[in-house]
Amino acid sequence: MNWLNDSISLFTLIGIGAVIVITVFVVGKYVRQMKTDSSTGELAKEKWDGIGEYKNELPIGWALSFFGTIIYALWYFLAGYPLAAYSQIGEYNQEVNAHSDRFESKWSNADEATLQDMGKGIYFVQCASCHGVVGDGMDGKAQNLTFWGSEEYIVKTIEIGAKGSGYPLGEMPAGLLDPQSAKAVAAYLVEKIAKTGKSKNPTLVSEGEALWATCAGCHSEDGTGMFGMSANLSNYGKSEFIVEVLNRGKKGMIGNMPAFNDGRLTDIQKLAVGKYVTTLVE
Ligand code: HEC
Ligand code: HEC
């Protein structure tokens, strides 16, 4: 921010300069008068310990600047910073928002490759410190992103349950299905709910469909999560799911994943880092 563009700061600075000049001038004048005793004016009748006093008028310049400062103080208080709801933090936030808006419109039509590239940069700055440069979660310190989002990780989720994203339905209990059924549901989830591609166990898809009722009670028939009551599995493993994770954060079993909903990342940056993370899954 260039303070010279800020009329209030500039006005205040000019005021300070003027006060210094006037003070030096007036003090200098009276000091000189004291030395030469060339002062004029009518002496007061009284003397104090033999010292007389002139009945000088207030210097007009001094009086004007005295009243000027009072007027300025009133103006400053009523129309300047405090009551006009101006604050430097507010101005800073406005500038950041304006920049984010420019950023959002510049990249609103970015293609897949551009987003992934952008996401890679964001990942290294914002995520790698916990999830590791290659996404392996650094020996269990954070989620292993080469595993999370995969078909096998769905099986694992059914085994251990899920919690910590603050959905109204709360926690997903562990061990809802035996391992073989979990595998079948995972196959169905990948192919028919999330539609992220071909399942590794295509023969289990129809068995999984029959078992899906176990999940539909909380995640709804089409997996969309009953209007935000629980996780939207139609996005499972996709960048949209990761955007949701970033907006919510997760106090899970491994540890705490902070939410990124404080403006640190714009919507496009969240989507971009989500796209990059989906490329980490093995
Ligand atoms: C009692 C309700 C309930 C049932 C039943 C349920 N879930 Fe969940 N599930 C949840 C909730 C709530 C979450 C979000 C947990 C969180 O992150 O806070 C969740 C999250 C998930 C996730 C995302 C985990 C992650 O890492 O973010 C997957 C995958 C999942 N469920 C799969 C299933 C499958 C498959 C079934 C059926 C076998 C199932 N769920 C049954 C409530 C349920
Ligand atoms: C301060 C450490 C930390 C940072 C920074 C961090 N994460 Fe996490 N993240 C975690 C932890 C811990 C978990 C595991 C939470 C749990 O116990 O399930 C996690 C889990 C996840 C998950 C799985 C969520 C789920 O539903 O199971 C995803 C996806 C993820 N992080 C993506 C990211 C992305 C993308 C970034 C960067 C924008 C990021 N994380 C930054 C610590 C972090």
pLDDT (tens place) for every residue of the chain, 282 residues total: 566 677 878 888 999 999 999 999 999 998 888 787 666 778 888 888 888 888 878 889 999 999 999 999 998 888 777 666 777 888 898 999 999 999 999 999 999 999 999 999 999 999 999 999 999 999 999 999 999 999 999 999 999 999 999 999 999 999 999 999 999 999 999 999 999 989 999 999 999 999 999 999 999 999 999 999 999 999 999 999 999 999 999 999 999 999 999 888 999 999 999 999 999 998
Residue closest via CA to ligand 2's atom 6 equals 127
Q: Which residues line ligand 1 (CB under 6 A)?
A: 154, 157-158, 162-165, 167, 169-170, 172-173, 176-177, 185, 189, 214-215, 217-219, 230-231, 233, 236, 250
pLDDT digits (tens, 9 = 90+) for 59-77: 899 999 999 999 999 988 8
Tokens 């001094």 found at: 62
- Which residue from 145, 151, 218 has its CB within 8 A of the most atoms of ligand 1, so it is best to mutate? 218
Residue closest via CA to ligand 1's atom 8 equals 172
- Which residue from 129, 167, 248, 250 has its CB within 8 A of the most atoms of ligand 2, so it is best to mutate? 250
With b for 16 or more beta-carbon neighbours within 10 A and e for fewer, the 247-278 pattern comes to ebbbebeeeebebbeeeebbebbbbbbbbbbb
Question: In angstroms, what CA-CA distances link 53 with 28, 30, 43, 48, 86?
Answer: 19, 14, 6, 8, 48
Tokens 């995640």 found at: 219
Ligand 1 atom nearest the C-alpha of 164 is: 18
